[in-house]
Amino acid sequence: MKLRDRWRGWRDNESGITLIEILGAVMILSIISVSLMGYFTSGLDKSADQSRKIIAANLARLKAAEIRDEMKDPANYAKLQDLSASPYVFKEQSDLPLSLNEVDWLAPSNVNGTNYNFIVSLDKRTDNARTAQLDALMNKEPEQYLVPMSITVYWDVPAGASPAATKSTTIDSYVVNQGD
């Protein structure tokens, strides 16, 4: 009986937290924080990827506006008409025909430490329903006034490799002949 009374006395006489209890609490908190840290890092990565996609979409819109502005000049638009095969895919400045090489369409852009590269695709084939309706309204062939354009902006892609969908953004637009 004396042992049991002694035990009750020690137990009832606790005046603080033992080192073992503190170590146990720290261990539990560290396990929880390590497991939550994975969620934070993956959230930051996804946020950075979405930020790059938004920047790429804005760069593609700017590049489309630059190209449309260059093609407002009837002489520059005529250079597009000189291209024979379709679609035309330009990945590097050297891919551009000499007549279009005066404009630096494909110069990479660097935003927030990320290099963004461009692929410009022009397709003079205008054989879809939308251009058929425009053809009836304009009373001339669609390729005389309308060239579909696609601009792909990609980042973090090794040289010579194709851009992956997760590391690129593509927008579609048109180059319109405003001369006639």
The yes-or-no verdict on residue 25 having pLDDT over 90 is: yes
The yes-or-no verdict on residue 104 having pLDDT over 80 is: no
Count of structural domains, the chain: 1
Residue 38 belongs to a domain: no
Q: The tokens 């929880």 sit on which residue?
A: 32
The yes-or-no verdict on residue 99 having pLDDT over 60 is: no
Domain that holds residue 93: 51-176
Residue 1 belongs to a domain: no
pLDDT-based confidence at residue 174 (cuts at 50, 70, 90): confident
Q: What is the pLDDT of residue 139?
A: 61
Residue 110 belongs to a domain: yes
**What does DSSP assign to residue 162?**
P
Do 63 and 151 touch, CB atoms closer than 8 A?
Answer: yes
Residue 45 belongs to a domain: no
pTM across the whole model: 0.69
Residue 34 belongs to a domain: no
Q: What is the pLDDT of residue 170?
A: 93
Do 162 and 131 touch, CB atoms closer than 8 A?
Answer: no
Residue 67 belongs to a domain: yes
Residue 8 belongs to a domain: no
CA distances from 50 to 39, 53, 109, 111 (A): 16, 5, 18, 14
**pLDDT by residue (tens digit) across 131-168?**
566 666 666 555 566 778 899 999 988 777 788 888 99
Cα(156)–Cα(178) distance, rounded to whole angstroms? 37
Residue 170 belongs to a domain: yes
